[in-house]
Structure 1
Amino acid sequence: MTAAPVRGQVYRADLGYGAKPWLIVSNNQRNRVTADVLAVRLTTIARELPTWVPLGADDPLGGYVNTDNIETLGKDELGDYLGTLSPSSIVSVNRALAVALGIP
């Protein structure tokens, strides 16, 4: 990977249980200077929780963003670039992350 991943982008990564889509949630300044990123999983499983964000027609994938489990992924673990979430989904993810982390 030559360019630093950008917040809001989705990549495929295999952490030992099959390749899954991951959303980059770490800030871009951090992404440029560190060897890893913070990411959350996309899933097709629905949960009625304020920390799970449904994706819409403007997003590159269907399903949900699960902000309950933030993982550190090495940039070398990032596989295929799958697209970037829509601005409205990013706003919803920001809210869900605040809930997940207990930030008022």
Structure 2
Amino acid sequence: MTPLRGQVYRCDLGYGAKPWLIVSNNARNRHTADVLAIRLTTTPRTLPTWVPMAPNDPLTGYANADNIETIGKDELGDYLGGVTPATIEKINVALATALGLPPPRT
């Protein structure tokens, strides 16, 4: 199984099953035993590193780019869907902000 960037999976990392959005690039995802993911939550926060989900995304709530985890592919649970390209663009900006990187070029 090769999870793809932008896909959402439910994972239990020891504190209950939660939704996680894959943010690592697809080449990395193909060649490693794990992925990088950020938490999705229903808790609203107005921070530049929190991205609201769009109506066409698989879940409502927010992507928290401050909460990046390495998750083993064997820990990925149910596939919940993929986020829209517009949401991924906003998440790219949020990740750059969280990591102190220059904003992505559009």
Task: Please say whether Structure 1 and Structure 2 have the same fold, judged by a TM-score greater than 0.5.
Answer: yes
Aligned to 2:73: 75
Residue 41 of structure 1 deviates from its aligned partner by 0.2
Q: Which runs of 5+ in 2 are unaligned?
A: none
Aligned partners of 1:56 and 1:94: how far apart in 2? Answer: 15
Pick from 23, 26, 32 the counterpart of residue 25 of structure 1: 23
TM-score (norm 2): 0.95
Q: What is residue 99 of structure 1 aligned with on the other side? A: 97
Q: Please report how far the alpha carbon of residue 70 of structure 1 lies from its aligned counterpart in structure 2 after TM superposition.
A: 0.6
Structure 1: 4+ residue segments shifted above 4 A: none
Amino acid at match of 2:96: A
CA distance in 2: counterparts of 1:39 and 1:59, whole angstroms: 16
Aligned equivalents of 1:20, 1:41: Cα separation in 2: 8
Partner of 1:43: 41
Identity value in percent: 72
**What do residues 33-72 of structure 1 show as CA deviations (whole Å, max 9, x unaligned)?**
1000000000000111000000111101000000001100
Specify every segment of 5 or more residues in structure 1 that has no aligned partner in the other structure, as ranges.
none
Query: After the TM superposition, which residues 5-24 of structure 1 pair with which residues of structure 2 at under 5 Å, given as runs?
Result: 5-24=3-22
RMSD of Structure 2 on Structure 1 (CA): 0.5
Question: In the aligned structure 1, how far is the partner of 2:50 from the partner of 2:17?
Answer: 20
Using the TM superposition, give the Cα deviation of residue 14 of structure 1 relative to its aligned residue in structure 2, in angstroms.
0.1
| Alignment: residue pair count | 102
CA distance in 1, matches of 2:55, 2:18: 20
